[in-house]
Amino acid sequence: MNTLCRAALMAVLAALASGFSAVPGAAGNSHCEPVGGTVFTNFVDPPTNALGPVSGDLAGAVSVQILAINGNVYHIRKHFVTTSGDTMTVADTDFTTYPTGVSGLAAATEPMTITGGTGRFDGATGSVTFFGAINGDGEVMLRYSGTVCFPKVKEP
């Protein structure tokens, strides 16, 4: 394995490990659930949005808007809607790419903080880490894992 591939792999593994840190809002008044799945989308020139399917525990669709680009770091805004029509609000974040040594292919990582939403995600908090790849055409394939904490339902 060449040095560039090894460095990209270490960066992806470090970002993945950081996704298992403390979850915002995971205090006593909520119950937390592990989540995982995949995302397929496209990155296009700003300010155009790209829409892609999300599978797994957060199934639905996500749109991605590139707010700024600084080298290999894309500052992005995401909008999620689940298959049941709930929305999930997330903080703007950085999608970072790493060279792999394979022409036209880069490794990618992204932390995501959930800050609420509608329906099931009303009052939800969480931390999810994405990792995967992006090709030279801007096609993105990512795995995600993390934790979402939902407010406990108050009994009447």
Stated pTM of the model: 0.77
Is 47 domain-assigned? yes
Is 78 domain-assigned? yes
pLDDT at 118: 97
CATH code of the domain containing 32: 2.40.350
Q: Which domain holds residue 111?
A: 3-151
pLDDT averaged per 10 residues, the chain (length 156)? 41 39 51 96 69 94 90 93 96 95 94 97 97 90 97 71
Please spell the DSSP secondary structure of the chain, one letter per residue.
Answer: --HHHHHHHHHHHHHHHHTTSPPTT-STTEEEEEEEEEEEEE--STT-EEEEEE-GGG-EEEEEEEEEEETTEEEEEEEEEETTS-EEEE--EEEEEEE-SSTTEEEEEEEEEEEEESGGGTT-EEEEEEEEEEETT-EEEEEEEEEEEEEPPPP-
Is 156 domain-assigned? no
Is 14 domain-assigned? yes
Tokens matching residue 62: 């996500």
pLDDT at 44: 65
pLDDT at 27: 47
* Total domains in the fold of the chain: 1
pLDDT at 65: 87
